[in-house]
């Protein structure tokens, strides 16, 4: 059993959980994920690691409540235990040997971007960060980003905080200003990662995207995270989650992601309706 030692609401539906999992904490690296089960009969969901503390033996994850399992998780409190917490899984993000990088995060994807950014920083790279949110109310981890980056641009869609507009516009400006990045790392909604890749392509800047948002069970068996990279079929949970953004077939990936979102929405509605019937 894996005890929740800290639970903190970052935003109304975005929660940070620090979990006691010494073996996972000992081996975790940025970009990797865990699979958790809330209880014995629960479904397995993959969540990318936000932070880890090998000395304390804890792993931090940030979860947005979007479906029945994350809803169930949101009802647990400090001191409660998760039934399973398996990992670390997936390949770690390569962070060594870079002089200057830009990390781009969108929404809850920033929870995944943060450990990558921190590792780039700890490896001695000059780190620029561009993070985007819907509005001021959705901004998370700003202080953490500030501490580990040499330049931080916060964007909001509605201009209620930081710079108004898209992360891709801010990234383009940084490139046009003459910043020569060895790599751009992007994590966030699929469409955002697609346009980050399209933005950097004309400049020939190597671009890594984390496809963890499309993972479903994280086991390599459901096929939900299948994508085409450089003409080859890959699985985000087995071969990734990081891929070369310039080689991903984005049209296919976006289409699959939209289909899955639609399926999840209906599944969630069905679960809610069943639940409502049961309590009536």
The least distance separating ligand FES from the CB of residue 214, rounded to whole angstroms, comes to: 8
The answer to whether 45 and 219 have CB atoms below 8 angstroms apart is no
Which residues make Cβ contacts (< 8 Å) with residue 241, sequence separation at least 6? Answer: 31, 33, 48, 90, 91, 210, 211, 212, 215
Size, binding site for ligand FES by CB under 6 A: 14
Residue that has been written with the tokens 């009802």 in this structure: 75
Q: Are 70 and 64 in contact (CB under 8 A)?
A: yes
How far apart are alpha carbons 44 and 272 in whole angstroms? 19
Q: Using the rule CB under 6 A, give the single segment among 50-58, 64-72, 87-95, 211-219 that binds ligand FES.
A: 211-219
Work out which of 19, 108, 225, 227 binds ligand FES, going by CB under 6 A: 225
User: Minimum Å distance from CB 48 to ligand FES?
Assistant: 12
Name the segment binding ligand FES (CB under 6 A); options: 89-97, 232-240, 252-260, 271-279.
232-240
Cβ of 206: how many Cβ atoms within 10 Å?
Answer: 15
Q: Whole-number minimum distance, CB 150 to ligand FES, in Å?
A: 35
* Residue whose C-alpha is closest to residue 84's, from 26, 29, 32, 19: 19
User: Among the candidate windows 76-84, 148-156, 214-222, 248-256, which touches ligand FES by CB under 6 A?
Assistant: 214-222
Give dist(CA 13, CA 30) in Å, integer.
24
Pick the stretch among 47-55, 178-186, 231-239, 267-275 that binds ligand FES (CB under 6 A): 231-239
Contact flag: residue 224 with ligand FES (CB under 6 A): yes
Q: How far apart are CA 155 and CA 192, in angstroms?
A: 13
Binder of ligand FES out of 54, 97, 159, 223 (CB under 6 A): 223
By beta-carbon proximity to ligand FES, the closer residue of 127 and 211 is: 211
Does 222 engage in binding with ligand FES (CB under 6 A)? Answer: yes
Among 30, 132, 218, 241, binds ligand FES (CB under 6 A): 218
Among 9, 23, 221, 233, binds ligand FES (CB under 6 A): 221
Burial of 12 by CB count in 10 Å (0-12 exposed, 13-18 middle, 19+ buried)?
A: exposed
Of 33 and 133, the one with the shorter C-beta distance to ligand FES is 33
**Beta bridge partners of residue 34, listed in sequence order:** 47
> Smallest gap, in angstroms, from Cβ of residue 273 to ligand FES?
26
If one asks whether residue 235 binds ligand FES (CB under 6 A), the answer comes out as yes
The residue with tokens 């392509």 is 201
Is 153 or 216 the residue whose CB approaches ligand FES more closely? 216
3-state secondary structure of 105: strand
Considering Cα of 229, then 235, then 236, then 240, what sign does the dihedral take?
Answer: negative
Could you tell me the smallest distance in angstroms from the CB atom of residue 114 to ligand FES? 22
Instruction: Out of 217, 228, 260, 264, point to the residue binding ligand FES (CB under 6 A).
Output: 217
- Candidate ranges 31-39, 57-65, 90-98, 234-242; the one touching ligand FES (CB under 6 A): 234-242
Identify whether the C-beta of residue 89 lies closer than 8 Å to the C-beta of residue 237: yes
Could you tell me which residues come within 8 angstroms of residue 12 by beta carbon, excluding any fewer than 6 positions away? none
Site for ligand FES, rule CB under 6 A: 215-225, 235-237
């Amino acid at each position: 059993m894996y005890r929740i030692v800290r639970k903190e609401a970052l935003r109304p539906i975005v929660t940070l959980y620090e979990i006691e999992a010494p073996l996972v904490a000992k081996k975790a690296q940025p970009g990797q994920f865990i699979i958790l089960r809330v209880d014995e009969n629960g479904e397995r969901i993959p969540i990318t690691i936000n932070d880890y503390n090998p000395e304390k033996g804890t792993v931090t994850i940030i979860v947005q409540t979007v479906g029945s399992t994350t809803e169930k998780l949101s009802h647990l409190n400090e001191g409660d235990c998760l039934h399973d917490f398996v990992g670390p899984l997936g390949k770690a993000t390569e962070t060594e040997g870079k002089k200057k990088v830009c990390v781009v995060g969108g929404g809850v994807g920033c929870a995944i971007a943060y450990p990558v950014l921190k590792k780039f920083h700890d490896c001695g790279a000059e780190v620029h960060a561009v993070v985007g949110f819907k509005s001021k109310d959705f901004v998370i981890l700003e202080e953490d980003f500030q501490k580990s980056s040499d330049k931080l641009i916060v964007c909001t869609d509605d201009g209620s905080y930081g710079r108004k507009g898209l992360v891709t516009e801010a990234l383009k400006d940084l490139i046009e200003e003459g910043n020569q990045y060895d790599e751009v790392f992007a994590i966030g909604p699929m469409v955002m990662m697609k346009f980050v890749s399209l933005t950097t392509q004309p400049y020939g800047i190597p671009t890594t995207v984390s496809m963890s948002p499309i993972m479903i069970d994280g086991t390599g068996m459901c096929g939900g995270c299948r994508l085409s990279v450089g003409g080859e079929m890959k699985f985000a949970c087995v071969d990734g989650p990081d891929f070369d953004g310039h080689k991903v077939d984005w049209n296919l990936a976006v289409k699959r992601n939209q289909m899955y979102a639609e399926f999840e929405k209906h599944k969630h509605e069905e679960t809610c309706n069943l639940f409502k019937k049961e309590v009536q």
